[in-house]
Amino acid sequence: MKTVDAIAAELEGYDPFALSVSTVNAFLSKLVEPVADEESVTLVQALGRVLSQDLISPINVPPHDNSAMDGYAFDGAQLSAQAPLNLKVVGTAFAGKAWQGVARSGECVKIMTGAIMPTGLNTVVPQEFVTRSPDFHDMAVVIPKGLLQTGDNRRKLGEDLIQGQPALRKGQLLTPAAVGLLASLGIEQVSVWRKLRVAYFSTGDEILSLGEAPREGAVYDSNRYTVMGLLMRLGCEVIDLGVVRDQPALLEAAFMRAAGVADAIITSGGVSVGEADYTRTMMKKLGDVAFWKIAMRPGRPMAVGRILKNKSVSSDAAVLFGLPGNPVAVMVTFLAFVRPALLQMMGSTATPAPLLQARSLTPLRKKPGRTEYQRGIVATLSDGALGVKVIGNQGSGVLSSMVQANGLIVLHHAQGDVAAGDQVAVMMFDSVI
Ligand code: AMP
Ligand code: MG
C-alpha cells in the first residue's frame, strides 16, 4: 500500500496548495482499492450492487428461434422479387408451445409473437401486410412482392445471450436493466461485492444536532443529512457518528471508532488552513493524510488519506475524505471526488455519466486556473437544444439554490469567461444523485 507521499510523487503537477480537480481524481484512483469480500444476494436485493464475478449465461436467450410479430411464418426461399407469394395456411403456432405439424412448400403457419418458429420456416410476414386469397376456401394469404427478405421478423436463438458466454462482467453495476437480464436467464441469486461501509461525522463547535435548542452563532448540522443521502443513493452502508465536538479526546475516539468499522470515513469541517481546531491535528496523528487547497470553487480545502485502524499495522486503514464545512462545498466535493472514488471501492467498472453540453443563456464570469461549479437549471429550448441558466445565490453555504438547481455547470480549469450563447458542460443531478 503506497503512502500519500508516494502517490503524490507519481503525479505530474502535484502542488498541494493549488491542486487541479483532475489531479485530485488521479490521486484518489491510486489511493483507493476495491473491497475484497463477496456475498450472495437474491435478485430483489441485487439492485445497486456490483457483480463480483463474470456471469456466464446458463441458457440461450431466446431459447428458440421465434416470431417477432403476429403474422404468418413461411420459408423465405420462396420469395421472389417478381411476383407476390400465395401461401396456404396449414395451422397456428401459439406462444408457449411448439406447433407440431410440418409446413411444406406453398404453405405457411399463422404465428403469434414469441411463438417458436415451426421447423423449416425462417421468415414471418406481419399480418397487416397480407391479403386474404380466395384460394383454399379463404385459408390462404398473399404476400406482396418486394416486401420481405428471408429471416425478416424472426428472432434468432441466442441473439440476446449465448449459453456459456459471459452475459455480464465482473464490476457491472446492477441497474434495473441488468437485474431484468439476470431474471431472463432464470438466475435467482448472484455474487456481489459486499456493501461499502462508510462512516460520517460532522465537526465544529458551532454545529447543532437536530433537537438541540438554537443558540447564538450556532447552525444546524445539514451536512450529515446531505452526505448520508448521497451515500444511500450510492448504495453504501452508512455509519452515522453524529457531530463531534472540537476536543482532541472526542475526535480521536470518533476517528478510531470509524476506522474500526468502516472502509471509508467522511468528515466535514475543520480542514481549512488556519482553523482553530483539532481536526487536522488529529487526522495527522492517526493516519497518513495530505491537506490540500484545490483549484476549484466552491470547495477549496480538503484532507485526503488514510486513518489507521490499528496504529501498529499500517496496511489496515480506512480511506479518509475530510471535506470542507460549507454545505454546498460538501456536496460539490462529494460529487467531484468522493463519489467516483467510492464507486471504485465498490468494485464498479462503470464509466462515469458524461457531462452534457448546454447553451449558456447568460454570460458567466470565470477565472482560468480553477474549476468552477455553478448551480443551474437546464431545460430544453424552443429549438430543441439544451440551455442552462444560473440559479439563485451561488454562495458556498446556500443550500436553497442547490435544491432549486437540477444540475451543475462545470467550468473547466483552463476556461475563461463565458459569453451568452456559448456551450458549457453540465452535470445533471439525475445522473449522479
Ligand atoms: P469550516 O470548514 O469548518 O471552516 O466551516 C465552513 C462553514 O461551514 C462555516 O460557516 C460552518 O459553520 C459551516 N459548517 C460546517 N460544518 C457544517 C455542518 N455540518 N452543517 C452545516 N454547516 C456547517
Ligand atoms: Mg470549523
Q: Is 206 in the pocket of ligand 1 (CB under 6 A)?
A: yes
pLDDT digits (tens, 9 = 90+) for 157-197: 999 999 999 999 999 999 999 999 999 999 999 999 999 99
Residue type for 162, please? I
Question: What average pLDDT is seen over the chain?
Answer: 95
- Closest ligand by atom to 323 CA: 1
Residues 6+ apart with CB under 8 A from 384: none
**57, 86, 363, 364 from 420: Cα distances, Å:** 52, 64, 4, 8
Q: Taking the CA of residue 225 as centre, how many other CA atoms within 13 Å lie in the half-sphere pointing to its CB? A: 7
Strand duo 407-411 + 371-380: pairing? antiparallel
Using one digit for the tens of pLDDT, what is the confidence trace for 314-372? 668 999 999 999 999 999 999 999 999 999 999 999 888 899 999 999 999 999 999 99
Is residue 253 within a helix (H) or strand (E), and if so which, with residue range? helix 248-261
Q: Is the pLDDT of residue 42 over 90?
A: yes
The rounded Å distance from CA 149 to ligand 1 centre is 68
Amino acid at 139: M
Per-residue pLDDT tens digits for 76-85? 999 999 999 9
CA of 300 to the centre of ligand 2 (A): 14
Q: How far does Cα 292 stand from its chain's mean position? A: 27
Given a cut of 90, whether residue 155 has pLDDT beyond it is: yes
- Summarize pLDDT for 265-313 with one digit per residue, the tens: 999 999 987 666 799 999 999 999 999 999 999 989 999 999 998 766 5
Q: Tell me, what's the pLDDT at 312?
A: 62
Specify the residue with its C-alpha closest to ligand 1, atom 20: 221
Q: Which whole number is the average pLDDT over 408-423?
A: 98
Residue 108 parent element (H or E):
strand 107-111
pLDDT of residue 313: 58
Neighbours of 4 (CB within 10 A): 18
- Please report the pLDDT score of residue 433 as a whole number: 47
Which domains does the chain carry? Answer: 4-37+194-345 (3.40.980.10), 41-61+159-193 (3.90.105.10), 66-155 (2.170.190.11), 356-428 (2.40.340.10)
- Helix H, strand E, coil C: the string for 275-295 is CCCCHHHHHHHHEEEEEEEEC
Residue 258 predicted with pLDDT over 50: yes
**What integer pLDDT is reported at residue 45 of this predicted model?**
97
| 229-255 pLDDT tens trace | 999 999 999 999 999 999 999 999 999
Ligand 1: which residue has its CA nearest to atom 17? 325
Could you tell me the distance, in angstroms and rounded to a whole number, from the CA of residue 276 to the centre of ligand 2? 8
